[in-house]
């Protein structure tokens, strides 16, 4: 599998260090507030697992699975909820946990939805930020790394459902996705 990766962009060690850093920040900011951490499936799974274990105060965890509506040619920003939350967000301090913000369409929909449902606060925590991909004006409250406009995979990020299990973030060789 390693032969399909052009370059390791962020090592497992760097990711681990960043999770500890972000975990400390969240601990300090949310101590005693019992925040609700919402992982966005499937990409956020490894980050959610590592980040939550780096937080040293009580948190509740929940998951949402969303997918973009319609064809990919026209990103409307409308997303379909495949799996909704178990918890109510009313009055809660919510942190949405994502692996990457690219166009920002998924997150802008989610932020609006959770505010509409009466969350007390909604913040975005993303491991990766790809600002060059942005189609809507949205900025994460906490971001681990800024990445270039390349096809990145690993640590939850997939290409055709593969590579999510890589322990690092890598750039996929163009020959792997070209012609597919
Ligand atoms: C990917 C990624 C983010 C979203 C970012 O998820 O995990 O959730 O796209 O893209 P955006 O900023 O352009 O909306 P995807 O919809 O591929 O589902 P997955 O997490 O199951 O891979
Ligand atoms: Mn995702
Ligand atoms: Mg995906």
**The pLDDT value given to residue 10:** 98
CATH of 12-147, one of 3.40.50.2300, 3.10.450.50, 3.30.70.100, 3.40.50.2020: 3.40.50.2020
Question: What pLDDT score does 18 carry?
Answer: 99
Q: What is the ipTM of this complex?
A: 0.97
Task: State how far the Cα of 67 lies from the Cα of 61, in Å rounded to an integer.
Answer: 20
User: From the CB of 66, is ligand 1 less than 6 Å away?
Assistant: no
Instruction: Give the CA radius of gyration of the chain.
Output: 16
What pLDDT, on a 0 to 100 scale, did the predictor assign at position 179?
76
Give the pLDDT score at 1. Answer: 78
Put simply, whether the predicted model's pTM sits higher than 0.90 gets the answer yes
Considering only CA atoms, which of 20, 8, 7 is closest in space to residue 144? 20
Q: Which of 155, 149, 40 is nearest to 98 (CA)?
A: 40
pLDDT single digits (tens) 16-74: 999 999 999 999 999 999 999 999 999 999 999 999 999 999 999 999 999 876 555 45
Residue with CA closest to ligand 1 atom 21: 42
pLDDT per residue as tens digits for the range 85-143? 998 999 999 999 999 999 999 999 999 999 999 999 999 999 999 999 999 999 999 99
Name the token pair of 11: 């090592």
C-beta atoms surrounding 123 within 10 Å? 17
Q: Is 122 near ligand 1, meaning CB less than 6 Å away?
A: no
What is the predicted pLDDT for the residue at 79?
A: 87
Which ligand has the shortest distance to the CA of 106? Answer: 1
Query: Is 153's C-beta closer than 6 angstroms to any atom of ligand 1?
Result: no
Let me know: does 52 contact 37? Beta carbons within 8 Å. yes
Query: Which ligand 1 atom is at minimum distance from the Cα of 66?
Result: 16
Beta strand 121-129 with 142-146 is: parallel
Exposed/middle/buried for residue 61 (C-beta within 10 Å: 0-12, 13-18, 19+): middle
Long-range contacts, 61-67 (Cβ 8 Å, 24+): 61/36, 61/37, 62/36, 62/37, 62/38, 62/86, 62/87, 63/38, 63/39, 64/38, 64/39, 64/40, 64/110, 65/40, 65/41, 66/40, 66/106, 66/109, 66/110
Return all residues near 103 (Cβ < 8 A) that are at least 6 apart: 75, 133, 134, 135, 136
Beta partners for residue 96, in sequence order: 38, 124
Tokens 């274990």, residue?
A: 53
């Amino acid at each position: 599998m390693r032969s399909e990766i052009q370059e390791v962009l962020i090592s497992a060690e760097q990711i681990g260090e960043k999770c500890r850093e972000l975990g400390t920040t969240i601990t300090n900011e949310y101590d005693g507030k019992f925040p609700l951490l919402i992982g966005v499936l499937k990409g956020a799974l490894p980050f959610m697992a590592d980040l939550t274990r780096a937080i040293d105060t009580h948190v509740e965890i929940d998951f949402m699975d969303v997918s973009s509506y319609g064809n990919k040619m026209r990103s409307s920003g409308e997303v379909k909820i495949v799996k909704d939350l178990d918890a109510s967000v009313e009055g809660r301090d919510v942190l949405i946990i994502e692996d990457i913000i690219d166009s920002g369409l998924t997150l802008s929909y989610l932020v609006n939805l959770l505010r509409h449902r009466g969350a007390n606060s909604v913040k975005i925590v993303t491991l990766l930020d790809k600002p060059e991909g942005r189609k809507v004006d949205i900025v994460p409250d906490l971001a681990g790394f800024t990445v270039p406009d390349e096809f990145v995979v690993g640590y939850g990020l997939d290409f055709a459902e593969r590579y999510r299990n890589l322990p690092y973030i890598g750039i996929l060789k163009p020959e792997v996705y070209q012609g597919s």
